[in-house]
Chains A and B, each alone.
Chain A
C-alpha cells in the first residue's frame, strides 16, 4: 500500500509558506503560516483579512495573528488569496 499522508501532515509541510484560509462565513485570510495546533488554530504573519459584503470586498492588514480554528473551513497552501 502506498504510504499515507495525514491531512494535518500536509498543513505541517506548509509551515513557513503562504496559505489562504477560507472561513465558514464570508471571511478569508492570507498569511505566512507560523504554526498550528490540533484544533487547527493557526498562527499567521503578514496577514490580510478579506471580508466579502454586498458592497464589495474589504481588506485589512494585520500583524502576527492567532486565528481561532472553530470557524475555519478550508486551507489552500501556497496561495495569495482571492486577488
Chain B
C-alpha cells in the first residue's frame, strides 16, 4: 500500500506554457465539431469539420452554403481549398 504518491522528481519537467491557444491547438480541438468557414469572397460554409491540414484545406460534412445569410446549397461532403479561407470559427462552445 506504499507508493501512493510518487516522490517529487528531482528534475521536474519545465512548466507547460501558460497559453495553449496556438492555431494548431485550436484545430486539434475543433475537428469533429460544427464550424463556420468563411471564404475571402464572403461565402459561408457551415458543417461538421472532418479534417484539415496545414494549408487550411478543409473537408466538411453536412455542409450548408450560405450567401448573405441565405442557404443556397447543401452538400454531403465538401472540400475547400485552403487559400480561399478567411477564417474557421467554432459554431458551438469549445
Q: With a CB–CB cut-off of 8 A, which chain B residues contact A34?
A: 19, 21, 26
Give the interface SS of chain A, mostly helix, strand, loop or mixed. strand
Q: Does B87 contact A (CB under 8 A)?
A: yes
Cross-chain contact of B87 among A16, A51, A65 (Cβ < 8 A): A65
Q: With a CB–CB cut-off of 8 A, which chain B residues contact A67?
A: 86-87
CB of A23 to closest CB in B, whole Å? 8
CB of A54 to closest CB in B, whole Å? 14
Q: Does B59 contact A (CB under 8 A)?
A: no
Q: Does B92 contact A (CB under 8 A)?
A: yes
Q: Is the CB of A43 within 8 A of B21?
A: yes
Q: Is the CB of B25 within 8 A of A64?
A: no
Q: A70-B83, A71-B40 are in contact. Are A63 and B22 (CB under 8 A)?
A: no
Number of interface residues of B (CB under 8 A): 25
CA gap between A42 and B26 in the complex, in Å: 10
Question: In chain A, residues 1-46, which have Cβ atoms closer than 8 Å to a Cβ of chain B?
Answer: 15-16, 25, 27, 33-37, 41-43, 45
Give the interface SS of chain B, mostly helix, strand, loop or mixed. mixed
Q: Is the CB of A64 within 8 A of B89?
A: yes
Q: With a CB–CB cut-off of 8 A, which chain B residues contact A45?
A: 21
CB of B34 to closest CB in A, whole Å? 10
Q: Is the CB of B22 within 8 A of A43?
A: yes
Q: Is the CB of A63 within 8 A of B89?
A: yes
Q: With a CB–CB cut-off of 8 A, which chain A residues contact B19?
A: 15-16, 34-35
| Chain A interface (Cβ < 8 Å from any Cβ of B) | 15-16, 25, 27, 33-37, 41-43, 45, 47, 51, 62-68, 70-71
List 6 extra interface pairs beyond A27-B86, A34-B21, CB under 8 A: A34-B19, A35-B21, A37-B24, A43-B22, A68-B85, A71-B86
